Amino acid sequence: MHRTTSRRTTGRPTIGIIGGGVIGLAIAFELLERGEHDITVYDPDPTRGAGLVAAGMLAPAAEAVFGEEALQALMLESMRRWPAFAARLRERTGRPIGYRTEGTLLVALTADDQAEIDRLVGYYRRAGTPIEPLTGRQLREREPLLSPRVRGGAFAPGDHQADPRLLLGALRGLPLRFASQKIDDLSTVRDDVIIVANGVGSASLTGLPVRPVKGQMLRLRGAEPLVRHVIRGVAAGRHVYLVPRADGELVVGATEEERGTDTTVTAGGVLDLLRPAADLLPGVAELALAETLAGLRPGTPDNAPVLGPLPGGPPGARTLVATGHYRHGVLLAPVTAAVLADLVLDGSTTVDVDAFGVARFT
Ligand code: GLY
């Protein structure tokens, strides 16, 4: 099929966003914040996608990795934007998104786990990320239900959380045109501006090396929250995070597996999560196992997103891409939205995105 006519009816350029997940809808939100725009969001199945599985950690410290300095700078920049993003979305939609600012505790069980956290603390300090080392006792003063075996860790006050399901619910309430047609070929999209933002699905549309990275996770449920902070733990070398919601839900994540598009929840995956979770916070064993699920993170070869113009799009359309957010889609939503809105409306952005262009993969 060929692109024949513009869908333009109002004189304004039409904008087609491929992907109705957190990234696509955050871009739509930012465009609406900056003026009236004619936006269609194409998504054949909004009940799929990484956002519905995501825990919602906003973790520029606890999710940072040695050697990924440009990505960490982008994560910090997006975190700086999160409070205003949450407030603007709340104001526009009237809906809560579970944005919470208690911060994240890094928690270690053994001496080796502690050494790993100590190395990270040094790295965060060099990067200018706020971090405060804590002893086991200081950790238990903040979270009394942590295991007495917890040895030490740190407090990352700048690592917050949002509830991705509430976030998606709020974003889907925006005045946008939603189209359920599946886009297999960009030349069938008739908009003047096309933004490809459909996570793992972007690989076949763009040729970019975006691959699925499976994550299994659990939702546990109790009458009361066991902890107030997000907990990022390592227990005998096994990593886990625990994200508490106000209603007593505790999200436990996540495995990281290279298994193509398989989303089976496995007994081994559940074990890999429950074992370190219960080692660090024994009370999890008493909670109801409410839901097990698996999602596909859109990974790239350098773990960083791809943001910017996409050469070789359909003739007559400006094509851009915002994909490959890997473990950081919810955190990076505000900065991604700002960058894409800048590029669509002004042709350039003041955010430093030199490290995130398409050219590094072409
Ligand atoms: N950001 C957490 C995860 O991807 O599992």
> Residue 264: pLDDT above 70?
yes
> What is the C-alpha to C-alpha distance for residues 292 and 220, in angstroms, rounded to an integer?
9
Instruction: Say how many domains are in the chain.
Output: 2
Picking from 61, 126, 97, the residue whose alpha carbon sits closest to that of residue 334 is: 97
Q: Is 84 exposed, middle or buried (0-12, 13-18, 19+ CB in 10 A)?
A: exposed
pLDDT in tens, 189-202: 999 999 999 999 99
If asked whether residues 181 and 50 sit together in one domain, one would say yes
Give the residue from 251, 311, 201, 236 showing the smallest Cα distance to 98.
Answer: 251
Residue nearest to atom 3 of ligand 1 (CA): 327
Distance of CA 269 to the CA centre of its chain: 21
Is any atom of ligand 1 closer than 6 Å to the C-beta of 257? no
Band of pLDDT at residue 6, cut at 50, 70 and 90: low
In a domain, 83, yes or no: no
pLDDT band at 48 (very low <50, low <70, confident <90, very high): confident
The domain boundary residue, chosen from 269, 298, 327 = 298
Indicate the top mutation candidate among 23, 161, 232, 297 to test ligand 1's pocket, ranked by most ligand atoms within 8 A of CB.
297
Look at residues 298, 323, 344 and tell me which one is the last residue of a structural domain.
298
Residue 65's pLDDT band (cuts 50, 70, 90): confident
Residues linked to residue 152 through DSSP beta bridges, in sequence order: 108, 135
Q: Is 51 in the pocket of ligand 1 (CB under 6 A)?
A: no
* 7 pLDDT higher than 90: no
Cβ-Cβ contacts under 8 Å for 64 (sequence gap 6 or more): 71, 72, 75, 120, 123, 124, 127, 129
On whether residue 192 sits in a domain, the answer given is yes
Q: Are strands 318-323 and 306-309 parallel, antiparallel or unpaired?
A: antiparallel
Looking at the structure, tell me whether residues 123 and 188 fall in a common domain: no
**355 occurs within a structural domain:** yes
- The answer to whether 160 touches 58, Cβ cutoff 8 Å, is yes
Q: Percent of the chain scored above 70 by pLDDT?
A: 97
Burial class (CB in 10 A: 0-12, 13-18, 19+), 334: buried
Query: How confident is the model over 234-253, as pLDDT tens digits?
Result: 999 999 999 999 999 999 99
Ligand 1 touching residue 327 (CB < 6 A):
yes
Based on the fold, state whether residues 141 and 180 are members of the same structural domain. no
Predicted pLDDT at 154? 97
Nearest CA, atom 2, ligand 1: 327
Question: Do residue 317 and residue 286 come from a single domain?
Answer: no
Task: Judge if 152 and 237 occupy the same domain.
Answer: yes
Could you tell me if the CB of 57 is within 6 A of ligand 1?
yes
Whether residue 143 is found in the same domain as residue 216: yes
Confirm whether 115 is domain-assigned: yes
- Indicate the top mutation candidate among 241, 243, 252 to test ligand 1's pocket, ranked by most ligand atoms within 8 A of CB: 241
51 plus 146 within the same structural domain: no
Q: Is residue 306 part of a domain?
A: yes
Q: How much is the pTM?
A: 0.96
> Cα 152 from chain centroid?
27
Distance of CA 31 to the CA centre of its chain: 20
CATH number for 234: 3.30.9.10
User: Do 293 and 201 sit in the same domain of this protein?
Assistant: no
Q: Which residues contact 27 (CB under 8 A, 6 or more apart)?
A: 17, 195, 197, 322, 336, 337, 340, 341
Q: Are residues 241 and 293 in the same domain?
A: yes
**Residue 66: pLDDT band with limits 50, 70, 90:** confident
- Beta strand 211-221 with 193-196 is unpaired
pLDDT value, residue 124: 87
Which ligand 1 atom is nearest residue 55's CA? 2
Res 286 pLDDT > 70:
yes
Q: What is the CATH number of the domain that holds 176?
A: 3.50.50.60
Given a cut of 60, is residue 5 above it in pLDDT?
no
Angle at 22 between CA 326 and CA 297, to 5 degrees: 25
Q: Are residue 278 and residue 348 in the same domain, yes or no?
A: no
Q: What's the pLDDT score for residue 252?
A: 98
The pLDDT value given to residue 9: 55
User: Among 31-35, 63-67, 132-136, 233-237, which stretch is predicted with the lowest mean pLDDT?
Assistant: 63-67
Picking from 274, 298, 322, the residue at the C-terminal end of a domain is: 298
Q: How confident is the model at residue 10 (pLDDT cuts 50, 70, 90)?
A: low
Q: How far is the CA of 271 from the centre of ligand 1 (A)?
A: 18
Task: Summarize pLDDT for 303-334 with one digit per residue, the tens.
Answer: 999 999 999 999 999 999 999 999 999 999 99
Domain contains 135: yes
Tell me, letter by letter, the H, E, C secondary structure of the chain: CCCCCCCCCCCCCEEEEECCCHHHHHHHHHHHHCCCCEEEEECCCCCCCHHHHCCCEECCCCCCCCCCHHHHHHHHHHHHHHHHHHHHHHHHHCCCCCCECCCEEEEECCHHHHHHHHHHHHHHHHCCCCCEEEEHHHHHHHCCCCCCCCCEEEEECCCEECCHHHHHHHHHCCCCEEECCCCCCHHHCCCCEEEECCHHHHHHHHCCCCEEEEEEEEEEECCCCCCCCEEEEEECCEEEEEEECCCCEEEEECCCECCCCCCCCCHHHHHHHHHHHHHHCHHHHHCEEEEEEEEEEEECCCCCCEEEECCCCCCCCEEEEEECCCCCHHHHHHHHHHHHHHHHHHCCCCCCCHHHCHHHHC
Whether 112 is in a domain gets the answer yes
Least confidently predicted of 8-22, 200-214, 271-285:
8-22
Mean pLDDT (the chain, rounded): 95
- Asked if residue 324 is part of any domain, the answer here is yes
* Segment 334-346, tens digit of pLDDT: 999 999 999 999 9
Q: Which of 305, 289, 292, 290 is nearest to 337 (CA)?
A: 305
Whether pLDDT at 155 is above 50: yes
Residue 72 phi/psi, 5-degree rounding, is -65, -35
Please say if the pLDDT value at position 59 is more than 80: yes
Residues 264 and 204 in one domain: no
Domain that holds residue 269: 104-157+212-298
CB 25 within 8 A of CB 170: no
Mark whether 245 and 340 lie in a shared domain.
Answer: no
Q: Is 254 in the pocket of ligand 1 (CB under 6 A)?
A: yes
Question: Edge-to-edge, what's the strand order for the sheet holding 306-309?
Answer: 177-179, 38-42, 14-18, 193-196, 318-323, 306-309
